[in-house]
Amino acid sequence: MSTATAKPNAAPVSTPAPARYRLVVESAQEAVTILQKRFGTRARVVAVRQVQSGGLGGFFRKPKLEVVIEVAPEATPAATPTPASANDEGQPAVHSRKPAAAPAPAMEEDASAPDEAEATVSATATPLPTRARAEILGAGRALALLEACGFDRFLIERIRTDNRVQDWEKLPVQELLALVCDWLRRQNPAPEALELAPRRAFIGTPGVGKTTALCKALAREVFLHGRRPSVAKLDGGQPNPTDGLEVFCEVLGVDLLRTTREVRRWSGGDALFVDLPGCPAASRGSEETELLDLLCSLGVDSRILVIHAGYEAEMIGDAYAFGRRMEATHAVFTHLDEVRNPGKLWKFLLTGGLPPLFGSIGPNLADDYEEGIFSLLLQRTLPETAIHFAMPPAERARRARHG
């Protein structure tokens, strides 16, 4: 009777490369559900980003999430050598072995997302690893959260880089917002950046509230600081009626100048506020040239760009471009009480190059004046808990004492 001998181990089977999937889903939870159903513990998140739907209707739809994952191939168990037994004829028995399953073909990087039917998780579905689940639920969270507050991608990346945060998706929401809040506070202009020259012109496009902004600044000079400024209302290239400014100046007891000759001869008082007619932001012709020449000839060194905060971001950008052509030095934001998305203003405040003097939050000429525009926007942009968390301990204690 022959003795069976064990066969040598088979050559190791090479491990196929992971397959890569690209899923476009409505939410992070939907992505988790799909991955639980299809891949179990083999999925690893590679990248997550927001994508906007195409076409005109895309502007009115909630952005979707694009999740790129890698899926490890299913492990193929190695064949276990078994001793051969003799058959009835005394010949060694031949044991058949199924060939190793061929590796699953790698899916295209832009493979379409699974259909909605696969979003239902069966009771026996293998749970997704905790880390992978956290990556999906966390990835894009910081980006989506800050974009919802009105920050654009460029500003978000600048905040992340300045704070040297490698992976802020893993930060708790409160800590993330507090970090952003603290960074924004540090961008507040230094007091010397808000200093003005004696001659100050309020410039801007028609209808933004230049005269109202001038009146608010004038009232503070008179009532709060006890100064005696003068006002000049000039026509420039087009009529600029006095309207109620003349009456307001009379009530405050300040002089109102109406000609360029009077302005050139002005040498008294604490400051001269110059009101000019509006100039369309899109006009780059003779109107702008005349206005710029007038400002230079009158020796106006502080040129305050007045911006309607309720305008769309594109129009605000046009206003800033106009201000650069007029060599503006500071900015004032009006109609802040009408802004539905105050976060859009951060980009201009932080990158526009014009220190904000104040914001107008109402029509009252002697009030509705917000000097701390950074603090105002923080209150209207970020949750109060984050603002409180980002305060210095001494400030938090002071507020607690005073209720």
DSSP string, 86-112: B-TTSSBPPPP-PPPPPPPPPPPTTPP
Half-sphere exposure of 333 (CA within 13 A, CB side): 28
CATH numbers and ranges of domains, the chain: 17-73+107-139 (no CATH), 192-380 (3.40.50.300)
Lowest model confidence (mean pLDDT) among 104-113, 138-147, 267-276, 369-378: 104-113
Q: Contacts from 163-172 at CB under 8 Å and sequence distance 24+?
A: 168/142, 169/135, 169/138, 169/139, 169/140, 169/141, 169/142, 170/134, 170/138, 171/142
- Separation of alpha carbons 313 and 304, rounded Å: 19
For residues 170 and 144, give the distance between their C-alpha atoms in angstroms, rounded to a whole number.
Answer: 14
With 0-12 CB in 10 A as exposed, 13-18 as middle and 19+ as buried, what is 390? Answer: buried
DSSP bridge pairs for 272: 199, 230
CA angle 8, 10, 16 (to 5 degrees): 165
Residue in the block written with tokens 């069966």: 122
Position 380 confidence tier, pLDDT thresholds 50, 70, 90? confident
Which one-letter DSSP state was computed for residue 280? Answer: -
**Apex 80 CA angle, 76 and 81, nearest 5:** 145
Question: Is residue 73 pLDDT above 70, yes or no?
Answer: yes
Angle at which helices 153-162 and 141-148 cross, to 10°: 120
- Residue 78 · residue 12 · CB < 8 Å: yes
Q: Is the model's pLDDT at 5 over the cut of 70? A: no
Q: Report which secondary-structure segment, H or E, holds 7.
A: none
Residues forming beta bridges with residue 73, ordered by sequence position = none
- DSSP β-ladder status, 356-360 and 369-370: antiparallel
Higher pLDDT, 180 or 139: 180
Instruction: Please write the tens of the pLDDT for every residue from 258-316.
Output: 999 999 999 877 899 999 988 876 666 788 888 999 999 999 999 999 999 999 999 99
Q: Is 373 left (phi over 0), alpha (psi -120 to 50) or beta?
A: alpha
Task: Please tell me the predicted confidence (pLDDT) of residue 19.
Answer: 79
Checking if the pLDDT of 97 tops 60, the result is no
Mean pLDDT of the chain: 74
Q: What are phi and psi of 303, to 5 degrees?
A: -120, 110
* DSSP code of residue 216: H
